[in-house]
Chains A and B, each alone.
Chain A
Amino acid sequence: MEVVITTFPWEVVLILAPLFGALSCFLWPKSARYLALSTVFVSVLSVVALAIRLITTGSYRHAIGGWRAPLGIELLADGLSLLMLGVTAVVGLAITVYSTGYFPNRQLLRFWPLWLLLLAALNALFLSGDLFNLYVALELTGLAAVALTALSGGRAALISAMRYLFATLLGSMSYLLGVVLIYHSFGSLDIMILAQRVVQSPVVWSAMGLMSAGLALKTALFPLHFWLPPAHASAPAPVSAALSALVVKASFYVLLRLWLEVFPPGQTAMLGELFGALGVAAIFWGGLQALRAGQLKLLIAYSTVMQVGYFFLAFPLAMAAAWCGVLYLLLSHALAKAAMFLAAGNIIYFSGHDRIVDFDRIANQLPMTLAAFALAGVSIMGLPPSGGFVAKWLMVEASLKSGQWWWAFALIIGSLAAAAYVFKVVGHAFTQTTVRGQTNAVPALMEWTALALALTSILLGLVASWPLAWLEIGGMFSCESAR
């Protein structure tokens, strides 16, 4: 048994299972929900097996077709990809379970194949070690995300989906042109080989600029965030959860890989400062707009814009503690933001709208949902004990250690803004309104999944040493000082 787990290529299962699941959901729509649930279970088990394999035998690469790079494509399985795959599996499971209750039947039939393809695309992206393969995975992710956004069919959803589509296509095209320049300079598309070959040159400047701009657009860094709030606000709640929690992280992951492996270290300083400045702007702008938002999902979407600003603060800091901090932030934000969107979905299911001032004693009617939202808010604010707190602590520590204290200042201001808008929502949940509307009972399953995700993000704050240790598999950086 031990031998099977440590030698079987679990990463391949993670990619093939959702693809196979998507095909079967398309062929047999009547049993789609069971097929989807089994696929997601298989994914979760595979991630666990992959984790066991990585922890016992260390990181490794899988040469597809038996052809090693640079001729073939290689899959990278190391600590960083393991953590991204893990959070995708957990959030994916929660959203799958939640969706069985959320969607009306007709939409549900169209949801399953698209959703499983999105999961497959994300898994393929997190495992890929080849620049062009990453482009195809990014396109697959983007198209699936847009199709899911447009699923509710309303006017706002369609318009925001179209804007999202153009943004994602522009981002991919820019990224691809960068890949073209790098391939024709250094003769390989493989990340590990390029890590050894890339040297400073004007072509690398252009390629860096193009790829960073494209990926920053896909990650919605201020001022390229314009497409995100309408898209995440008008998509169906489980889709918004997936978009904010996972899809936005995918392009950031690619940028991080490129930054750490491919871009030559001497050339990245200026770009890092630019990212830091834009991150601070994102924190202020996102926080301001979240406070002004009248609808809950729009507020949560602007919160994502703000948190993306945090992610980009790691680039000017560029030290191990900062990377560990931002990766931990990726994980805890994914769990907390998904929980928030699922809670918002519950409220919409219950009262038919998400206008914050018109909440009618949600605290009494949906106590579990409110608890989920509040717990998720704790992580977003960065209060102990939560994953968000550990992450922010690591980043503040890095910022003070390197003498660039102004980033710590931005982090703290951001936390204050987050506290303000979380309390705004929680406060309105206790109030009454004069206008009473129709209410629907929310299935218990939906409330439980939201709460479970929120609890997981708190849990990340209590068991920080394990994930941080797993990040070190593959030797990209050490989180020793953090533990």
Chain B
Amino acid sequence: MTTELLYALVGVGLFSLGLYALFVRANLLRKILAVNVMSSGVFLVLVALARRTGAVAPDPVPHAMVITGIVVAVSATAFALMLMLRIVQETGRAELPDTWSE
């Protein structure tokens, strides 16, 4: 197993951990953390596998994709945090009420 595959598997692990936490944790701030961990996992898979070019420099296109992805993630996080604060202001709790009965 090469370095690249090792880190790619770590990325898959992070994605799965984040996915699990997103479903299981009820607090909105924790859900936001989970989404960030998931995206870090995806980026890790992307960049780790980009290094399979051999002795030369790694493939730069995945690097550009990840930089774009990081900016998109921080934008979504900032918006999600403000939305969470407004929900706490309206309902007093940082959680989504269950709507399974709808």
Contact = CB atoms under 8 A, between A and B. Distances in A.
Chain A directly contacts chain B within the complex, with at least one CB pair under 8 Å: yes
Interface of B: 15, 19, 22, 28, 31, 35, 38-39, 42, 45-46, 49-50, 52, 61-62, 65, 68-69, 72, 75-76, 79-80, 83-84, 86-87, 90-91, 96-97, 99-100, 102
Contacts of B91: 155, 159
A309 interface: no
Interface in A131-182: 132, 136, 139, 143, 146-147, 150, 153-155, 158-159, 161-163, 165-166, 169-170, 173, 176-177, 180
A264 interface: no
A289 B102 CA distance: 9
A132 B35 CA distance: 19
Contacts of A158: 83, 86-87, 90
A204 B86 CA distance: 41
A103 interface: no
Contacts, number: 78
B91 to A, nearest CB: 6
B87 A229 contact: no
A183 interface: yes
A154 B79 CA distance: 17
Contact of A180 (B45, B76, B96, B100): B45
A169 B32 CA distance: 10
Interface residues of A, number: 30
Given A162-B84, A170-B35, A184-B49, A177 B15 contact: yes
A289 B99 CA distance: 14
B9 to A, nearest CB: 13
A166 B35 contact: yes
A173 B42 contact: yes
B90 to A, nearest CB: 5
A226 interface: yes
B45 A229 contact: no
20 contacts: A132-B65, A143-B79, A150-B86, A155-B90, A158-B83, A158-B90, A162-B80, A162-B84, A163-B96, A165-B83, A173-B38, A176-B42, A177-B42, A177-B45, A180-B45, A180-B46, A183-B61, A184-B50, A189-B61, A226-B100
B15 to A, nearest CB: 6
Contact of A169 (B49, B65, B76): B76
Given A159-B96, A162-B28, A139 B76 contact: yes
Contacts of A177: 15, 42, 45
A190 to B, nearest CB: 12
Nearest to B62: A183
B87 A165 contact: no
A289 B101 CA distance: 11
A226 B99 CA distance: 8
Contacts of B83: 146, 150, 158, 161-162, 165
Contacts of A18: none
Contacts of A226: 99-100
A143 B86 contact: no
A123 B83 CA distance: 27
Interface in A224-241: 226, 229-230
Interface in A212-261: 226, 229-230
A146 B86 CA distance: 14
Given A136-B68, A180-B46, A184-B50, 6 more contacts: A143-B76, A162-B87, A170-B22, A180-B45, A183-B46, A289-B102
Query: 10 tightest CB-CB pairs across the interface, nearest first?
Result: A184-B49, A155-B90, A180-B46, A177-B42, A158-B87, A139-B72, A173-B38, A169-B35, A162-B83, A176-B42
A211 to B, nearest CB: 13
Given A161-B83, A162-B87, A229-B102, A136 B72 contact: yes
Contacts of B87: 158-159, 162
Nearest to A302: B102
A180 B52 CA distance: 14
Given A136-B68, A136-B72, A159 B79 contact: no
Contacts of B19: 170
Nearest to B84: A162
